[in-house]
Amino acid sequence: MKKNRLIVFALAAVMLFGLLPGGASAVLDGSLPEIEANDIVILHTNDVHCDYTQVKGEDGAVTNIGYAGVANIKAEALKKTSNVTLVDAGDALQGGAIGTLSKGEYLVEIMNAVGYDVFVPGNHEFDYGMTRMHQLLGVIPDSGTQQLDLDVVSANFIDLGANLRSASDDKPVFDSYVIETYGEIKVAYVGITTPESFTKSTPAYFQNSRGQYIYGLSQGKNGEELYSAVQAAVDDARTAGEADYVIAIGHLGVDEASAPWRSIDVIENTTGIDAFIDGHSHSVIENQLVKSEDGKDVVLAQTGTKLENVGVITIDPDDGSIEANLVSGWKTEDSAVKAVVNEISSEFEGDQAAVVANTDVDLVVNDPAAPETRLIRSQETNLGDLVADAYRYVLGNGKTGSQAKPADIGFVNGGGIRTNIAKGEITFGEVIAVHPYNNVGCVVEATGREILDALEMAARSAGEGENGGFLQVSGLSYTIDTSVASTVQLDEYKNFVSVSGARRVKDVLVDGKAINARTTYTVASHNYMLLDGGDGINMFRDNKVVVQPVILDNQILITYIQDNLNGVVGEDYSDPYGQGRIKIA
């Protein structure tokens, strides 16, 4: 870990009484807020998901600032005050071709060049497996790969030990917080990683070969364990660390489905946090005031995703106030970081550019009528249909010769399909962007009852917002009756346990016939869904595997278009809202 940086300035004594949050805030287009020489400036990003280059619209306006832009923002802030810290709230190393092809290493190299100071692991930092995560984030030193050169913090990511040792032997993987010293003022940065990582990465990565959890995320007791872990870190930072201020950096989000582990839940159930830098939900939050457990206002901020904004939190040492702003549209780039980005881009852009197929129609994740809405996480889309069909047809039913045919059912979680494909040529890079996680296709046998439970689990929040576990389907159709409240029961890890009452999933048909709870069907998907219990859909984990995991998800999609559709996605997939496989009543 880095040693505390000593950044000298005066007027420290007034800071001992804590922040007075709630200053003015705005989204600033291409400029920084007013910064005084003795201000403390915290720049923050979250959920970059490998979107590392600057992106401009047709009008020349910057829509994604890019890492070279972030580096320039830091440089400009340093011209105004020497008290600048740059932090990231997670999900930086996965989500695009550059991450997939390097297993995160290219992103680490770029972030090191930018000069980040503090990082909190998000759920997708685990997507390359626990060993790779340990390598990239420095748990395994000198591992032969690029490692983040900064402080990684997480108060609630716990190593339970290979033999499931007693709680007294549990230890955090990373430090719970880091203290940055600005003259005589100490600011603690407390890290928090979402317990949803168990189901929003790959659950097996947190378990041993017997399926027992050997890592924890303080997920139990309906949020109380998480609140206690955070409170302990805050209290220790203020006492042992003698911190004057505590800034929480959490990859938690504000989506209702993430309760009781949201940033607002943590704020409302703890004391001593002065500001909360958030991630995970891809929300744009300039400066929301949330009451802590003792009634004090805490500033909450989040930048959105893919560097559409960079957050700027400014602490004024004269009056102890805090101001939160978002900077958008920043055009100037740091030349040194830009050179690093260009060098890395040249190493894989040839593979990305290779044309692998064509499409006559736009294939969508986002709603064409509301582009900011990730429709694929709440209802059917044509890209969801296409991907589910690819699993069912390419992987088949595990038979050979005359008995070979498509699997009965194809499933794919909406959160595993990451971006639209525009009409025209489809490149290898675009397919990787759709499937960046290197999931491997497989087929299991499952009873109708297990399939019904999976659909019920996936539909539990339909009509209420996004759910990455929402199931796109092939060979099957169903209706979700949103007037029926979900009765799905979950365990403390948010894994499926049971359905305790009425079901909202109705009229389930397999190949046009009513599903039979006792019949065995072949189900095609990927290891995350079928073998590892991804998104809490754990009912298939012990089932008979009839097609072993072999083919990567991105190759399955390419194969389906090339071999089954003669290289062109045609009119069968023309409706962006799908073929009517999923009805929501």
Of 312, 340, 368, which residue is a domain's last? 340
481 and 560 housed in the same domain: yes
Could you report the per-residue pLDDT of 324-355, keeping only the tens digit for each? 999 999 999 999 999 999 999 888 777 788 89
Could you report the per-residue pLDDT of 263-297, keeping only the tens digit for each? 999 999 999 999 999 999 999 999 999 999 999 99
Of 299, 317, 340, which residue is a domain's last? 340
Nearest to 460 by CA among 367, 535, 529, 511: 535
How confident is the model at residue 16, as a pLDDT? Answer: 31
Q: Under 8 Å CB-to-CB from 470, ≥6 apart: which residues?
A: 376, 377, 378, 379, 413, 414, 415, 458, 459, 462
Q: Is the Cβ–Cβ distance between 310 and 65 less than 8 Å?
A: yes
Name the token pair of 514: 């009513």
Could you report the per-residue pLDDT of 448-488, keeping only the tens digit for each? 999 999 999 999 999 888 999 999 999 999 999 999 999 99
d(CA 172, CA 189): 16
Instruction: Of 11-20, 216-225, 459-468, give the lowest mean pLDDT range.
Output: 11-20
Q: Under 8 Å CB-to-CB from 151, ≥6 apart: which residues?
A: 1, 2, 117, 118, 119, 175, 178, 189
Q: Is the Cβ–Cβ distance between 2 and 150 less than 8 Å?
A: yes
387 and 328 housed in the same domain: no
Residue 44 lies in a domain: yes
What percent of the chain stands above pLDDT 90? 78
d(CA 131, CA 198): 16
3-class secondary structure, 178: strand
426 and 494 housed in the same domain: yes
From residue 470, how far is each of 256, 325, 488 by CA, in Å? 15, 34, 14
309 and 434 housed in the same domain: no
151 and 230 housed in the same domain: yes
Structural domain that includes position 481 = 355-584
Which amino acid is residue 150, in one-letter code? Answer: L
* Residue 490: CB atoms within 10 Å: 14
d(CA 392, CA 443): 9
What percent of the chain stands above pLDDT 70? 94
295 and 403 housed in the same domain: no
Query: What is the rounded (10 degree) CA torsion for 116, 117, 123, 126?
Result: 80
Name the token pair of 257: 């489905």
Residue 350 lies in a domain: no
Residue 360 lies in a domain: yes
What sign for the dihedral angle of Cα 201, 202, 205, 206? Answer: positive
Residue 140 lies in a domain: yes
Residue 304 lies in a domain: yes
Interval 188-211 mean pLDDT: 90
308 and 409 housed in the same domain: no
Band (pLDDT 50/70/90 cuts) for residue 25 is low
How confident is the model at residue 102, as a pLDDT? Answer: 87
Of 340, 369, 384, which residue is a domain's last? 340
Length of the chain: 585
330 and 194 housed in the same domain: yes
Q: Angle, to 10 degrees, between the axis of helix 105-114 and the axis of helix 67-80?
A: 20
Query: What is the rounded (10 degree) CA torsion for 361, 366, 370, 371?
Result: -90
430 and 286 housed in the same domain: no
Residue 15 has pLDDT above 70, yes or no: no
Q: Cα 561–567–572 angle (5° rounding)?
A: 65
Of 404 and 4, the one with more pLDDT: 404
d(CA 391, CA 560): 8
212 and 175 housed in the same domain: yes
Give the full edge-to-edge strand order of the sheet including 40-45: 27-29, 322-328, 310-315, 40-45, 84-88, 118-119, 151-152
Q: Is the Cβ–Cβ distance between 266 and 250 less than 8 Å?
A: yes
Spell 262-276 as b/e; 16+ CB within 10 A means b: bbbbbbbbbbbbbbb
Q: Residue 219: left if φ>0, alpha if ψ -120 to 50, beta else—which one? A: alpha
Q: Under 8 Å CB-to-CB from 68, ≥6 apart: which residues?
A: 53, 54, 114, 333, 334, 335, 337, 338, 341
**Can you give the CATH number for the domain in which 428 is found?**
3.90.780.10
378 and 275 housed in the same domain: no
How confident is the model at residue 318, as a pLDDT? Answer: 85
379 and 310 housed in the same domain: no
**Can you give the CATH number for the domain in which 275 is found?**
3.60.21.10
Give the total number of structural domains in the chain: 2
d(CA 454, CA 432): 26
From residue 30, how far is each of 53, 131, 323 by CA, in Å? 17, 40, 18
